[in-house]
Structure 1
Amino acid sequence: MNMRSRAVYLALIIVICCLLAGCQGANKVETIIIDDKEDQQASNDELSLFEVKTIYPVMEGKSDQVYPLGWSNENALITLGAENYKFASTINRVEFPYVSQTKLWDERNSIFLFNNLIALSPDGKEAAFPVVENGAFTLKLFSLAGGNSELLGEITTDQLKFVRMTWSSNSRFLTYSIVNEADKQVKIGVYDRETRDTKWYSLAQNGSNSKEFFALHSIHVSNDGESAVIVKYVARQLMLEVGQWSGDKFKSKYEHPISSEGWVEWIHQDQIAFVGPDGNLYAYDLRNAVVSLLLRDIGLFRLSDDRKFIAFCQDGDSVFAARLYGNNVLNMKQIYQGIIPAQMAWSPDNGKLLLSGSKKYDIAQPMAETQAFKGMQSLVIEFN
């Protein structure tokens, strides 16, 4: 082989080696760069969403007379009208700019407890609550658009103490609980809004202390109605149980202690989010039984309807918004400080956040019976 041929051959080997090395390096770098670029682009977009444009007081000057339940649409809230510290008798719509209200339900002979015994569907179209009619308690499903109501069932005064009602995040299933007076067992009804019928399940006893089975906090059903999270008090500690309906019973698959706020949300069909007693936000995946840590040291949290964003509080009165991406919480931004939240809710278009709560000083004061929510403030935070 002559000198020229050797030079060409050597140059060809060098080029091939460089190409091979370059391809290997490019593959590794490309995977990282693509992910980083996609996340960074999303980060820039979502950070602009969390820039606060305007903060609107809800019913300014009358905040102690209303309790916001959630959104009717992206520009209107559904609220309860309160007459004293225990009871309410009106359901109202408060339209943008949140200074006046329209009564949707006004039955002076029908009363319902203002907070823990009323459930607004996430789409803002229907509300379920117990009412008193002719001296008896009934459960009603009320259409906020059409004004008509549907009877879900009759309950006794004793059963009223154990009624808890929640909706699936897609607004299809309404779940409520009662106690069977004959055998003292907890019965759970799952009402299907599409078929307009109810399936009944029993919550099996698994201990000797019967009192624990009546300390039911809430039930959270998945969007297909097949799985559920049961939250209940056990020895003064809130516990969640994740499982599925099996026949007419609930079959538990996973248990975990939960914070005193007791809130649970389905991230998607196979994953839930909850805050443990340590103040950390966890995600549990039903498919592989893996628990993931999402956030540390938080209080109340709420997910947006599309599960893309999360609002949460830290240090008591600091409210943050962030992006939820898989098991990661990204682009955290403080959006408000000064209120300890009792309620938060994203608008359907994610452009606003409803925030209701009280200042630390007001929470420390005794509540007067003449006021429904002494010190309660409600705000709508609008993003750019």
Structure 2
Amino acid sequence: MRNRVFYLAFFIVICCSLAGCQGEKKIETIIIEDKEDQQATSDELSLFEVKTIYPVLDGKIDQVYPLGWSKENSLITLGSKDYKLSSTIDRVEFPYVSRLNLWDEKVGIFLFENIVALSPDGQKVAFPVVENGDFALKLFSLTGGNDELIGAITTDQLRFIRMTWSSNSRFLSYSLENEADKQAEIGVYDTENRNTKRYSIEQNDPYLKESAALHSVHVSNDGESAVIVKYQAKQLMLAIGHWSGDKFKSKYEHPISADGWVEWIHQDQIAFVGEDGNLYAYDQRNAVVSLLLRDIGLFRLSDDRKFIAFSQDGDSVFAARLYGNNVLNMKLIYQGMIPVQMAWSPDNGKLMLSGAKLYEIAQPMSEIRVSKGMQSLVIEFK
């Protein structure tokens, strides 16, 4: 009898304990195996081992400016001819020693790199042309497809802004001028729907009254969000926001470096270098700013956003893996050039590097000088 009472009391205690636990939150710890990640890290470390360095056109960068890659072994360059009275667009194939002319402007227009934009997929180049006496934007196909013309523009509008593509090569952004009040507007051309949408900027921003106040516009892959880089009190400032009707609405601003480069990491996150020289990532979902790297200059992300190339200490170029808000497996891949342009090949197996080479002058106290000429290289990884 005593045993029955004991077991009955024990059963009641257990039932009460279980009933009490049902209303509480349970905390579970999940351990994710990292064997695959460790293997990937090993592979990526070997990826950054330099195999060969190729000079592009024997380093004659004074004649060409590399825009980026059209395929794994093919660069697209902007060149000049006739003493820089007109421009050419060329293809430079492996081993990068000669140019194949793709487009030749015959009316004496000289194109600058900020008003020529190669799509990230390497299929189109956007630049201004003269059409029936007016300036227009041309989308030139590099794959043998049809070329396209976008509505009339003026050279003043393009002079002040860098044309940019969304990372999925769908949207092309550039500046426009409102015919009524001559104020700056943003043009976004959709290559799928083949139409242009025009957006004004909030009128309470006193600095955005003219096209000269805009530096660049970077549209997200879905076309709904954008980053505007603008000049504000002699400082470059980025504004992250979205389109609201025909206006751009800013929700976050941050001063950035003089280079003004911005890249979307994914649909909700952007990367930029602040005025302090640090690389940051801003996430729209929670309005959190994360520090990725300190004291860098130029940076570029690979097309798949798995890798990053960046410069430090002026003339040192590094490659690394980008994983979430972490930069891993950082490796020095080149030293002795101050880069002005970098681009990953589509397969991430090469990095195009363009900039000013350094050389040393022997004086009572040795000094490092920047050479007058520019050079361009292709770094191939093992």
- In structure 2, relative to structure 1, the CA distance for the partners of 1:268 and 1:87 (3 Å cut) is farther
Q: CA contact under 8 A between 1:87 and 1:114: conserved in structure 2?
A: no
Q: CA contact under 8 A between 2:176 and 2:211: conserved in structure 1?
A: no
Q: Distance in 1 between matches of 2:275 and 2:216?
A: 17
Q: Distance in 1 between matches of 2:98 and 2:318?
A: 28
- In structure 2, relative to structure 1, the CA distance for the partners of 1:152 and 1:288 (3 Å cut) is same
Q: CA contact under 8 A between 2:208 and 2:214: conserved in structure 1?
A: no
1:302 paired with 2:300, answer yes
Deviation at 1:197, TM superposition (A): 1.2
Q: CA contact under 8 A between 1:69 and 1:78: conserved in structure 2?
A: yes
The DSSP-based 3-state class of the residue aligned with 1:43 is helix
Q: Distance in 2 between matches of 1:164 and 1:303?
A: 18
Partner of 1:31: 31
The letter for the 1-side match of 2:119 is S
Q: Distance in 1 between matches of 2:318 and 2:332?
A: 4
Partner of 1:268: 266
TM-score, structure 1 normalization = 0.85
Q: Distance in 2 between matches of 1:189 and 1:156?
A: 13
Deviation at 1:150, TM superposition (A): 1.6
Q: Distance in 2 between matches of 1:234 and 1:354?
A: 32
* Higher alpha-carbon deviation: 114-123 or 298-307: 114-123
**Residues 262-314 of structure 1: CA deviation (Å, up to 9, x unaligned):** 00000000000000011100000000000000000100000000000000000
Which structure would you say has the larger RCO, counting Cα contacts within 8 Å and 6 or more residues apart? 1
Partner of 1:69: 67
Partner of 1:254: 252
More helix by share: 1
The letter for the 2-side match of 1:339 is M
**Residues 167-217 of structure 1: CA deviation (Å, up to 9, x unaligned):** 000101111112224312211111111111111111222244565763111
* Higher alpha-carbon deviation: 64-73 or 210-219: 210-219
* Higher alpha-carbon deviation: 168-177 or 212-221: 212-221
Q: CA contact under 8 A between 2:173 and 2:188: conserved in structure 1?
A: yes
Of 189, 193, 201 in structure 2, the residue corresponding to residue 195 of structure 1 is 193
- In structure 2, relative to structure 1, the CA distance for the partners of 1:87 and 1:360 (3 Å cut) is farther
Partner of 1:50: 48
- In structure 2, relative to structure 1, the CA distance for the partners of 1:364 and 1:148 (3 Å cut) is farther
- In structure 2, relative to structure 1, the CA distance for the partners of 1:364 and 1:82 (3 Å cut) is farther
Q: CA contact under 8 A between 2:183 and 2:209: conserved in structure 1?
A: no
Q: Distance in 2 between matches of 1:349 and 1:226?
A: 28
Q: Percent identity among equivalent residues?
A: 78
Q: Distance in 2 between matches of 1:84 and 1:291?
A: 48
- In structure 2, relative to structure 1, the CA distance for the partners of 1:209 and 1:78 (3 Å cut) is closer
Partner of 1:375: 373
* Unmatched runs of 5 consecutive residues or more in structure 2: 1-27, 361-367
Q: Distance in 2 between matches of 1:218 and 1:84?
A: 30
- In structure 2, relative to structure 1, the CA distance for the partners of 1:81 and 1:271 (3 Å cut) is same
The letter for the 1-side match of 2:147 is S
* Unmatched runs of 5 consecutive residues or more in structure 1: 1-26, 367-373
Q: CA contact under 8 A between 1:163 and 1:178: conserved in structure 2?
A: no
Q: Where in structure 2 are the equivalents of 1:350-361 lying within 5 Å?
A: 350-360=348-358
Q: CA contact under 8 A between 1:86 and 1:113: conserved in structure 2?
A: no
* Higher alpha-carbon deviation: 248-257 or 210-219: 210-219
* Higher alpha-carbon deviation: 159-168 or 261-270: 159-168
Deviation at 1:158, TM superposition (A): 3.4
Partner of 2:289: 291
The letter for the 2-side match of 1:73 is K
Q: Distance in 2 between matches of 1:239 and 1:85?
A: 36
Q: Give the CA RMSD over aligned residues.
A: 2.3
Q: Distance in 2 between matches of 1:293 and 1:335?
A: 23
Q: Distance in 2 between matches of 1:139 and 1:251?
A: 26
Q: Distance in 1 between matches of 2:287 and 2:338?
A: 33
The DSSP-based 3-state class of the residue aligned with 1:359 is strand
Partner of 1:316: 314
Q: Distance in 2 between matches of 1:134 and 1:361?
A: 48
Q: Distance in 2 between matches of 1:338 and 1:276?
A: 24
Partner of 1:331: 329
Deviation at 1:164, TM superposition (A): 3.5
- In structure 2, relative to structure 1, the CA distance for the partners of 1:254 and 1:209 (3 Å cut) is closer
The DSSP-based 3-state class of the residue aligned with 1:183 is coil
Partner of 1:279: 277
Deviation at 1:145, TM superposition (A): 1.9
The DSSP-based 3-state class of the residue aligned with 2:259 is coil
Deviation at 1:41, TM superposition (A): 2.2
Q: Distance in 1 between matches of 2:107 and 2:37?
A: 55
Q: Distance in 1 between matches of 2:203 and 2:111?
A: 28
Deviation at 1:380, TM superposition (A): 0.5
Partner of 2:218: 220
1:343 paired with 2:341, answer yes
Q: CA contact under 8 A between 1:212 and 1:233: conserved in structure 2?
A: no
Partner of 1:169: 167
- In structure 2, relative to structure 1, the CA distance for the partners of 1:251 and 1:382 (3 Å cut) is same
The letter for the 1-side match of 2:115 is L
The letter for the 1-side match of 2:323 is Y
Number of residues of Structure 1 aligned to a counterpart in Structure 2:
348
Q: Where in structure 2 are the equivalents of 1:96-175 lying within 5 Å?
A: 96-109=94-107, 111-133=109-131, 135-146=133-144, 148-175=146-173
